[in-house]
Structures are given as C-alpha cells and as structure tokens.
A and B are shown apart, each in its own frame.
Chain A
C-alpha cells in the first residue's frame, strides 16, 4: 500500500490548522509573558490569513488551480484515515474566518477582559479558531464531531469567562444544551455508520448513490440526517434552537462574541450545505415527499431537509427580527438580529434543497454564501464595536448611552456602515446578499417566502434604526461624555467597514469566488474523485504484494 502522494498543494490544506495549533501551544507555554503571548498570537493570526489566502489562490482561484486538494492525515488512505479536503466551499468559509479572526485578535491585544483567566485567553482563542478551521476542512463525519467539540470546549470557557453569577448561569445553560446536542450528533453519526458502514464523506456519498452495489438499506439515512440537521441548527442558532444565543452572547467577551456570531455559527450553516449537497444529494432513498406548492427534486433526502429548513428559517427571521426590536442593550439587539440573519442565510439553503433546476440550486447556494459573508463582516464589526463602547463607557445599555456619534465620529461611521450593510443598502456587501436571496426566492416562485423575507427586512430596518438612534444620536450621557475610545480598536472597525464597502463595490470577484464555492458544494463527483476512497480488498491485495506498511 502506498500513501497518497504528498504534493505542495496538499501540504497547504493542513497549513492553517497547523498554524493555529502551534499558536495555541506557543501561547500556552508563554503563560507568564503577556507581551510575547500577544505577539505570538498576532503573528500566527497573520500567518493564518496568509495560509488561507494561499489556499484561495493556489487551490481555488488561480487560472490553473485544481479546485480541490486533499490531505491524508498520518498517511492512511481514505476512507480508513482522516481526510482533509480544501475545495471552493471550505476556502470561502475559511476566508471569512481569517478576516474576522485577525480583526478580533488585534482587538484582543488592545483590551483583554477578565482577571484570573487572562493568561488563558489567547490559547482558548486559538483553540476556538482550531475547531472552526478543522470543521471547515475535514472530510470525515466523525472528525467533524471532534472539531465541533474542540470549538465548543473553548466557547464554554469564554461564555463563563467573566466569572459572575449571570455568566455562570449562561454558561451552565450553554453547556447543558450543547452536551445534549453532542449526544444527538453522536447518535446520528453512529446510526449512519451502522447503516452505511463508513463515515468518510466521499465514501458515504459514493455508497449512498448506489446503495444496491454496496448492499445498503438507505432509508434510515433520512431520519439520521434529520438528527444531524437539528444539531447543526443548534450550532447555527436557528429557531427553535435559538434560546441560548442572547444569554451566551451577552456573557462572552465582545471580541469573542464577534467570532461566535461570525465564525462558529457559520460552521452550522457550512455543515448543512456540505452534507446536504455534497454527501446526501445523490442518495436514492426511494421515499418521496410531496409538499403543497413546492416542486420537489428526485427522491433524495433533500426535500425533507428543505421542508424543515423552510420552517426554521421563517421562524428565525420573524423571532429574531421581532425580538431585536424590543431589546434594551446593544448586544441584546445584535444577538437577536443574529438569529434573524441566520434565518436569511438558511432560507436560500432551503430553496436550494428543493430546487429542481441545477441553475437555481447553484444561485441559491451563492445567495446563502454571499449573505453569510456579509453577516460575518457586518455582525463581526457590530459586536467588536460593542467591545469598544463598553471599554470606553463601561456600559452597552441604551438607557446609559446617547450621543456617541459626536463623541467619536469614526466609530459612528463604522457602525453606521455595518448597520446599513445589515439592512442591505447598495453599494455595500449586504445589498448583494439580500438581492441574491430575493432573486433566488423569486425564481423559485415561492411567494410566501418572499413575504417572510420582506417582513424580515423591514424588521431589520426597524431595529438597526432604533439601536442607532438610542446610542449614537441624542444628548450625550455622563458615561459617553467622559469616554475615550481606543484608537487602534476604532482603526480595526474602520478597516472592517472599508472591507464591507470594498466587497460591495468590487463585487464581481467575490461573486465569482462564491460561484466556485457553490460549484464545489454541488460537485459530488469531483469531491469523491479527489478523495478517492479505496476498497478494503484493494488495500489487502496491495499489502500482500509487498506493501510497505
């Protein structure tokens, strides 16, 4: 047996993961030297961004790029070892994380919350990034579970980070809920292994496409995928799994909340997209679901996913929007807004799962990805700005805020830009996100969906206007008058705001990237070919003929 040949591009696949792993180790060992810790963190953050940029260019975007690259950890061939796969979809997601991660790191070096646990802030930050990176890169269902756990372990600590009674209560909720989620995840994974005999995603896709050839009975996969979907929805914070979000987001330090909202939520969305389109789309389960008024494609498990996602996305948009209007603090508004915005991302995914035409499916996935990018940038900026405001004024409650626009115009402009991006004003990134989502819904001729989207957009205008009016306009309160904002933090916010404008103005390349990502998501065949899972009998034959292992 010979290991998969290791080329330069495949080393690149694991590079971001190794960089964060090294950063976590380094910052853990440098516990007693705060400056060195911050320096190592920043350097590795930039190295991470460069590695992701290299993946983007050499694997996805360059004219002669292969479009997909794999890495067999430990040299064990698929499906027996763990495969890491970087394709357009993974690269697009990693790029979002890299942008927000670097911003959040620079922010953290300026203002670190917490006393006792401070020396563990950066290691935990890197572990969180490691979990997110691993989840985006892995090509193995059980390994996905492991990365979810890595991500969760770090986020548990961050929710309880400040150590007050409220935080401990929020963390207790969060831990309990996610432990149940993990147990359900494990049940689903175990069930899929029992049904199909494999957990490698490429192998899974291959077997489900021809169940007869492998002697499988694929019907249980529908229900098991439903279990997994509920876990991913819990991570993404879709209604009815949204109730942990407001307390957890309030409890975690703002720069981490930016990452929780901008990156870990997207892992849930990514997992839904990856498993639905790359793995389960080709499955022939022989059970048809007839929805009134919805054209259903084939007899794969996707229509079931689509039906559930339509309900969850609709409820998220409404619950998030209505909830955000009545909150009395900035993080309350933006936490509820996150629930609504994830609904806006899940809606095109739902449209894609039920789309009969490949063109519409691709358009809907592109819409979801572009909207996700906009949400990461805008919501990341808004949560980071809460960090700046809290560090400057000591509060984020509307009752104690007012007149921030006069106090710090650059901060106000950055927040204003992000708010407009959430609403979807041209030429910002949010405009194209909203436009594509509406476009996908219109082409799917889904009238009720359009109504929900419209109501959701109006609610977005209502709560962003209210948050803006209450904290940035009006008379300056005492807390605001004496406040001094950190210039470096405001610079980070300004750069993010400029990115939002740049994505909108130069939308063409972003759209092309999202298109490549959507192509990768639906290209099951390319995915299976790249991973090339082997048969156990082939391996035994080759090792009998003098293999080296």
Chain B
C-alpha cells in the first residue's frame, strides 16, 4: 500500500481528518459527535499514516527515534505510550465522574458555564462534560491504536 498515490493522498487528507475529528470531539455534548466518535476519527488518521508510510514511520520519521527492526511490537515505545494514553484517559473520565461528589451532587452530574464577550465567538459555552469526553477520547485513541499497531505488526 505504500505507493506514491497513497502517500500523496495521505498528506492531503490526514490534516483534514484530524481537524474534523477534533471539531467533532469539541461540539459533542450539544451536537452529534463526542469523545468516542472523535477518537475513532483520530485513529483513522493514524491508520492512514500507517498504511501509507509503514508501521515504523511514526517513530523513525516523526519522532526521530531509532527503531530496532526485530523488536516485539507490544514493547514498541509508541505502543507503550498508547497504553499509557488509554490508562490516563480512563483515569480522567473516572475522576471527572467522581468530581461532583465533592460538591454534594450525584456521580456523573454535569454543568456548564456561558462565557460572554469572548473575541470572535462572542459567547462560548464551557461544559463540564468536556472533561469526561476528553477521557473517553483518550481511551478510544489509546485503545484502538494499541490494537492497530500490535495486530498490524503481527
């Protein structure tokens, strides 16, 4: 799959996919979208990079690390990072669910604040649900990328 066509297409569409995925994630609590679907779309962008440039490209080409060709895929440093992203994302989601308990509200209670007079936007809604959504986003990205890179390498 590492053809010139694939690479050229990847260069063009990966940034678009990433931007769309982030916008889906941010507007998720009021409109269609959210942490899960945003995370899946972000993973798709990574999958396109993997398909176009090979499994080691992230480490060698972008992070500039040396890669040991005969290594176990699950010991790969990027995979370790993906796993950690999963664990931290889960922790963020759980803590954001527990936080309302400190305010005497039930588990998972959400609220929002309207910011007025913000430049460009004029008013902006800041919802507490975004913290939980961010946790979900990390869990989805971390989990799916772990599966993708480990299973892909096998």
Name the residue on A nearest B104 (C-beta). Answer: A6
Task: Write the nearest CB–CB distance from B116 to chain A, whole angstroms.
Answer: 20
- Say yes or no: B94 contacts A73, CB within 8 Å: no
Residues of chain B contacted by A75 (CB below 8 angstroms): 105-106, 109
Q: Is A175 an interface residue (CB 8 A)?
A: no
- Say yes or no: B74 contacts A74, CB within 8 Å: no
- Say yes or no: A74 contacts B109, CB within 8 Å: yes
Q: Is B148 an interface residue (CB 8 A)?
A: no
Residues of chain A contacted by B105 (CB below 8 angstroms): 3, 6, 75
Bitwise, B85-124 to A at CB < 8 A (1) or not (0) is 0111011001000100100111111100000000000000
Residues of chain A contacted by B106 (CB below 8 angstroms): 3, 6, 14, 71-75
**What is the total number of residues of chain B having a CB less than 8 Å from a CB of chain A?**
17
Q: How far is the CA of A418 from the CA of B64 in the complex (A)?
A: 60
Residues of chain B contacted by A21 (CB below 8 angstroms): 94
- Say yes or no: A116 contacts B74, CB within 8 Å: yes
Q: How far is the CA of A73 from the CA of B91 in the complex (A)?
A: 19
Task: Write the nearest CB–CB distance from A518 to chain B, whole angstroms.
Answer: 29
Known interface pairs A18-B98, A116-B74. Does A25 touch B90 (Cβ–Cβ under 8 Å)?
Answer: yes
Q: How far is the CA of A71 from the CA of B106 in the complex (A)?
A: 8
Name the residue on B nearest A26 (C-beta). Answer: B91
Task: Write the nearest CB–CB distance from B144 to chain A, whole angstroms.
Answer: 15
Instruction: Please classify the interface of chain A as helix (H, G, I), strand (E, B), loop, or mixed, using the class held by over half of its residues.
Output: helix
Bitwise, A1-43 to B at CB < 8 A (1) or not (0) is 0010010000100100010011011001101000000000000
Residues of chain A contacted by B108 (CB below 8 angstroms): 73-74
Residues of chain A contacted by B98 (CB below 8 angstroms): 18, 22
Bitwise, A69-105 to B at CB < 8 A (1) or not (0) is 0011111000000000000000000000000000000
- Say yes or no: B107 contacts A18, CB within 8 Å: yes
Task: Write the nearest CB–CB distance from B75 to chain A, whole angstroms.
Answer: 10
Q: How far is the CA of A72 from the CA of B94 in the complex (A)?
A: 17
- Say yes or no: A29 contacts B107, CB within 8 Å: no
Q: How far is the CA of A116 from the CA of B98 in the complex (A)?
A: 32
Q: How far is the CA of A72 from the CA of B100 in the complex (A)?
A: 13
Residues of chain B contacted by A116 (CB below 8 angstroms): 74
Q: How far is the CA of A116 from the CA of B75 in the complex (A)?
A: 10
Residues of chain A contacted by B87 (CB below 8 angstroms): 25, 28-29, 31
Residues of chain B contacted by A29 (CB below 8 angstroms): 87-88, 91
Name the residue on A nearest B105 (C-beta). Answer: A75
Residues of chain A contacted by B88 (CB below 8 angstroms): 29
Q: How far is the CA of A24 from the CA of B74 in the complex (A)?
A: 22
Known interface pairs A18-B98, A116-B74. Does A73 touch B104 (Cβ–Cβ under 8 Å)?
Answer: no
Residues of chain B contacted by A14 (CB below 8 angstroms): 106-107
Task: Write the nearest CB–CB distance from A298 to chain B, whole angstroms.
Answer: 37
Nearest 9 A-B pairs (CB), nearest first?
A: A74-B108, A28-B87, A75-B109, A75-B106, A25-B94, A25-B91, A74-B109, A29-B87, A73-B108
A3-B106, A73-B107 given. 4 additional CB < 8 A pairs? A14-B107, A29-B87, A31-B87, A74-B110
Chain B residues packing against A (C-beta within 8 Å) = 74, 83, 86-88, 90-91, 94, 98, 101, 104-110
